[in-house]
Structure 1
Amino acid sequence: MELRRLGHFVAVAEEGSFTRAARRVHLVQSALSVSVRGLEKELGVRLFERSTHDVQLTDVGRVFLPEARATLAAAAAALDAVQATVGGLRGTLRIGIMQSMLAVDLASILARFRDERPGVELRLRPARGGSLKLSREVESGELDVAFVSVAGHAFAGVELTSLAREPLLLAVPVGHPLAGQAAVTIPELDRQIFVEAPVGWGTRFVADRAFADAHVNRSISVEVADLATVVELVRAGLGLGLIPQSVARLSDRVEFVPLDPPLEWEIALAVSTKRRASAAGQAFEDLVLDMTGSGGL
């Protein structure tokens, strides 16, 4: 079984399209199709259900995908070990990042890593489905590491290391009855209307747990996957919002009120426990923990 064919299979599975996968692996589509069909013939199974409009994994393909990723990762780790010995780190590092993580100086981390490891290509992937999706992509092998906020949730095959914590503040429109208060309790927010991040996002994890623990109901008028937009919708009067303190400092368009007791938002580094990290991945993890002191910059 050729590693090249495994890589082609993984590319098609992740892209959901032979056309996009062909661009990704720098092949013409016909050559990629031949490669995947050759793998299917070698295995004696169909890995994809093909239609005019899309490509879907078969049940066998879904079982085979994590094994293919693990095999490719092991081969890459072996190559990394040799390259690290004879000429410095090489390879590609896939990093998942959240929409907003000002409590961790990501730019400085990436700049220093690039300076120290110029042979490593960094590929950043924003959170398409929030921290929940990023964590699952680390577990599945789609990402090497990710910065996530999952409010104490545990994921099989994923290790989380805390990097930074900060309080969430209640965002209210200027002139709102709660504006100017020294602090607000969760019970005081019973039946209030909120603008929230979608399910799976870091601030939503914290809010859902806090309101459930306090047995307090809240209505959600709008879900948006961007904290700056949450602030703007709060300003427009569509509801209240919960915003990390580092983001709140950047806006004077709404009022921010502390919560009592505070709600804590945490950023963590997620790595896989199912696969040995590549040399580049381990170097990146070490650098992140060194620069944050495992407690924030």
Structure 2
Amino acid sequence: MDVRQFEFFSAVASELSFTRAADRLTIAQSAVSAGVRALENELGVELFDRSRRQIRLTSTGELLLPKVREALDAVNGVRDAAEETTHAITGSIVIGLMTSVTLVNVPRLLGLFRTGHPGVGVRLRAARRGSAGLLDELATGELDLAFLALSGPVPTQLVAAPISSSPMVLVVPADHRLATAGHVGLDHLDDLAPEEFIDLPPGYASRQIVDETFAAAGLERRVMIEVSDIGTAAEYVTNGLGVALLPEFAARDARNVRRLPVAGMPDFTVYLAASRTRRLSAAVRAFIDLALADDETGAIR
């Protein structure tokens, strides 16, 4: 068995697709399939259940995957040590992000990174289940880094640095009874509880902020419409379908609504996060250094 076979296995396990794994590795699908099959033959086990439309890891595959990724981390450590002598960083990074969260200028940041480190390949993966999903993918090693939002303290399994934040606002139709209010305080939550809310599904940080705020006040609310794209939530308010508590940036361009500051509610904060238990490659460390650089670069906000 060789390192390349491990890389094929890890990529297919992340994507649950030989086609997507081949795209991620920028090689032919036949080569990925052959490499995984060769690894299975050498180990004498089946790593994937191919009997269904979408492949799945077998129980043996699930057992071996963390060990394979540990081995890949060790190999990458050797590469990094060698690269330090030449000052040239190579490798690849997989970064998760919330595509509609515009607080981080990811395209500009990636452009700057490519200019400085042309030998590093970067792959972006959109959040499937909000920040909760990104947390899970960091833990399993499917992601090296993630731009995610957190409510409350940083989980112990992460190393994370805040990148940018946005205050929460109450978004109401222009003719709503609260439209003329200057702001809303937490002491007004009981007045909001009867409203019909538009929100994101559980697992998304903005939803968690609002749910925790109402729970702390001992109140329940009615979420009538759930949307997975934070960038469209305010449009439902525009069309008279309810009210929403959202980060200010997500409602900035909505028409025929009023955005009321909410005093006392935590801000929506985006962090750059990595797993605390996984070794950070030279490429990952270089990306972190760039992302956390002074705002003078214009890369972040």
> Shared fold by TM > 0.5?
yes
1:271: how far off? 0.9
The one of 221, 244, 249 equivalent to 2:224 is: 221
- Name the SS for the 1:118 alignment partner: coil
1:23: how far off? 4.8
Counterpart residue identity of residue 228, structure 2? A
1:257: how far off? 1.1
**With structure 2 as the length reference, what TM-score do the two structures score?**
0.88
- Name the SS for the 1:171 alignment partner: strand
Distance 2:231 2:8 in 1: 39
1:233: how far off? 0.6
Other-structure match for 1:283: 286
For the 8 Å contact 1:173–1:237, the answer to whether it is kept is yes
Other-structure match for 1:85: 85
With over 3 angstroms needed to count, the CA separation of the structure-2 counterparts of 1:271 and 1:292, relative to structure 1, is farther
Other-structure match for 2:28: 27
Counterpart residue identity of residue 95, structure 2? I
Other-structure match for 2:158: 158
For the 8 Å contact 1:109–1:291, the answer to whether it is kept is no
Equivalent pairs, count: 294
1:153: how far off? 5.5
For the 8 Å contact 1:163–1:292, the answer to whether it is kept is no
For the 8 Å contact 1:186–1:260, the answer to whether it is kept is no
For the 8 Å contact 2:197–2:221, the answer to whether it is kept is yes
Distance 2:37 2:136 in 1: 28
Matches within 5 A, 1:69-80: 69-80=69-80
For the 8 Å contact 2:171–2:244, the answer to whether it is kept is yes
For the 8 Å contact 2:238–2:257, the answer to whether it is kept is yes
**What's the RMSD between the two structures over aligned residues?**
2.3
With over 3 angstroms needed to count, the CA separation of the structure-2 counterparts of 1:64 and 1:153, relative to structure 1, is farther
With over 3 angstroms needed to count, the CA separation of the structure-2 counterparts of 1:230 and 1:28, relative to structure 1, is closer
1:18: how far off? 3.3
User: Deviation per CA, 1:115-146, whole angstroms, max 9, x where unpaired?
Assistant: 22222222222212111111221221111111
Matches within 5 A, 1:181-192: 181-184=181-184, 185-192=188-195
With over 3 angstroms needed to count, the CA separation of the structure-2 counterparts of 1:174 and 1:72, relative to structure 1, is same
Other-structure match for 2:271: 268
Counterpart residue identity of residue 65, structure 2? L
Matches within 5 A, 1:1-297: 1-25=1-25, 26-29=27-30, 31-152=31-152, 154-155=154-155, 157-184=157-184, 185-291=188-294, 297=301
Counterpart residue identity of residue 80, structure 2? D
Counterpart residue identity of residue 27, structure 1? A
User: Deviation per CA, 1:127-177, whole angstroms, max 9, x where unpaired?
Assistant: 121111112212211111111112125545322222223211011111011
Q: Which stretch shifts more, 208-217 or 16-25?
A: 16-25
With over 3 angstroms needed to count, the CA separation of the structure-2 counterparts of 1:20 and 1:102, relative to structure 1, is closer
Counterpart residue identity of residue 237, structure 2? V
Distance 2:59 2:156 in 1: 21
Q: Which stretch shifts more, 180-189 or 75-84?
A: 75-84
For the 8 Å contact 2:193–2:219, the answer to whether it is kept is yes
Q: Which stretch shifts more, 223-232 or 108-117?
A: 108-117
Gaps of 5+ in 1: none
For the 8 Å contact 1:135–1:155, the answer to whether it is kept is no
1:258: how far off? 1.5
